[in-house]
Structure 1
Amino acid sequence: MATSLKNLSDYTSDHFVDISEKRFGLVVAEWNREITDTLAQGAFDTLLKHGAKPENIFRNTVPGSFELTLGAQLLAQHEEIDAVICLGVVIQGETKHDDYICHAVASGITNVSLKFNKPVIFGLVTTNTLEQAWDRAGGKHGNKGVEGAVAAIHMLGF
């Protein structure tokens, strides 16, 4: 979680496992695409930085954040995929849609992770404004995609 005290892109890699033979799925929402593309690039670059091979990183797109759960399940069901990173953006609007979407995605991603017994990472940016979303997509709070990749690497060490 990004706060004034924590940047999403700050982490230590001291206990990272070797991911050179690991396969990663990225599920990226198309809604707010400029932001989600930035998140996906952050995740991709971080995986490469720590030893993943480009050919072992698979990106699938889904229409919006609500569809991240099914997108994750479609990747996670493949035995050769070791971890899935879900990336999307939900910005609060005039209605309560953001509450419903965020809750459904959080529950769905948790269920997929438990069903397939592998890391399925919640990389959903949930903000009040577009500016706050950009702050978490490489802005003053770092990049949630980087945080998602780091979480996936950490979880592969269990």
Structure 2
Amino acid sequence: MPGLYFEELEPGLVVDHPTRRTVSETDNVLFSSLTLNLAPLHLDAEYSKDSIYGQRLVNSLFILGLVSGITVPETTQGTTMGNLGFEKVTFPKPVFHGDTIHVRTEIVDRRESKSRPDTGIVTFRHLGINQRDEIVCDAVRVGLMQKRPEPAATAQA
């Protein structure tokens, strides 16, 4: 399914994204290493077993990227002009190796762009939810979305 245009992203619309992703140890170690986040809570099993979690945590920025990415096919693929930013991001519950994440998106708000008449600004709320139905990521973001193109004018004879 292609992304939705500004006109289709009405406040109150809820999309339960069909893609689910089980997070692996490799995902966590690779992402943490690539981003130079060498916190032992992500990488060191011996250190982490004495933490309040009793095991390593998956890097929260990986989870934010995963949650955002899962939403693309049903909301913004081919219809976005860009991500304008995140207004709020929280991680109410930790994510561990082997957790499976699915995402629900709600359209919170939208408005016409003041400077670009062919676009609008949409506020999305993305909830990352694990297999226990716990919210593990709550992200509110704003995107610049294309309006539906006008049909081509037919040539007059």
Q: TM-score of the superposition, structure 1-length normalised?
A: 0.26
Richer in helix (by share): 1
Structure 2 length as normaliser, TM-score? 0.26
